[in-house]
Structure 1
């Protein structure tokens, strides 16, 4: 039983209690320390992950050691490497914790079985996929055409609660700007207020 997850699913709408229980029963809970990996580059992503508490990040590390963050996944969000998971090929990204986190994991075979036997759950996951595609598209457009200031302003608008939870270097990495530039932008904004 995972009461917090079950409450989350109940709030999403149309799943009856017995279905919610079935989905919950197939999950394995893991407690992760800060900066602990749940998927490393080169491994095959074999699990769907739901964040009960804490925050995860999906990232790559370039040859020079710099980190490029693609996604933050705080509590009540799902995460995985979709390409590795769907095709069962080595992942090009890593997923690790930003802060101590509790997650639920479903093995691919179990999750696929749930999708096959519960049409309402398949509909729910399709809505999540569509939302993520939309959010990623918006992020790509901002990344391609926005100034550093516009990227930061968009981040603050979209994720105001992240500012207190994330180190500046991670925000800069997510935005694709240098820490120095981010510090300059934040300093200029403080001067205006």
Structure 2
């Protein structure tokens, strides 16, 4: 059993030790090096992913080779390419490690079986989905209507512990602004 996953379940559910062990027993560990892909665009997403340690990013690369980061997923979070996983179609996004990362993976069949066997896991899954929908809505609204400064402030509020873990180019990509604009915003904030 992975201690970080056990800690996460104990903090977020009322699961028994036996249930936690049962859920953990269906997962397998994978360690990713910095910049290693967990999922490559064009492949089918076949696993639910829990990040035990480290940081993943979900991103796409446009025709000009520019990276567009959709999401950062730090430790004690879940991720996957939802459409690829649900429909069993090729993913349009990549999921890669921004630093050395340890993940737990469950196959779709195993996770679905766990959902039917462990009602508390179903409840946790629904809470995670609801939080992700709320977060996505807020991110879209900020992206569409926020100034670059508001986007950066929102990022700081949502991910204060990621600032020191990410290169500026990734933060700028996530915010949809240039590095030059991000540098200006950070400089102006230091002047205040």
TM-score range, shorter chain: over 0.9
The CA distance in 1 between the partners of 2:74 and 2:42, in whole Å, is 24
**Taking structure 2 as the reference length, what is the TM-score of the superposition?**
0.98
2:94 corresponds to which residue? 94
* Shift of residue 8, structure 1, vs aligned partner: 1.2
Q: Which runs of 5+ in 2 are unaligned?
A: none
Q: Does 1:182 align with 2:185?
A: no
* Shift of residue 185, structure 1, vs aligned partner: 0.8
Whether the aligned pair in 1 keeps the contact of 2:4 and 2:76 (CA below 8 Å) is no
Q: Does 1:81 align with 2:42?
A: no
* Shift of residue 3, structure 1, vs aligned partner: 2.2
**Taking structure 1 as the reference length, what is the TM-score of the superposition?**
0.97
Q: What SS is found at the alignment partner of 1:166?
A: coil
Runs of 4+ in 1 over 6 A off after TM superposition: none
Q: Which runs of 5+ in 1 are unaligned?
A: none
Whether the aligned pair in 1 keeps the contact of 2:59 and 2:94 (CA below 8 Å) is yes
Further displaced range: 182-191 or 83-92: 182-191
2:134 corresponds to which residue? 134
RMSD: 0.8
Write the mapping of 1:1-193 to structure 2, written as runs, cut at 5 A.
Answer: 1-192=1-192
* Shift of residue 125, structure 1, vs aligned partner: 0.3
* Matched positions, count: 192
* Shift of residue 13, structure 1, vs aligned partner: 2.2
* Shift of residue 6, structure 1, vs aligned partner: 1.1
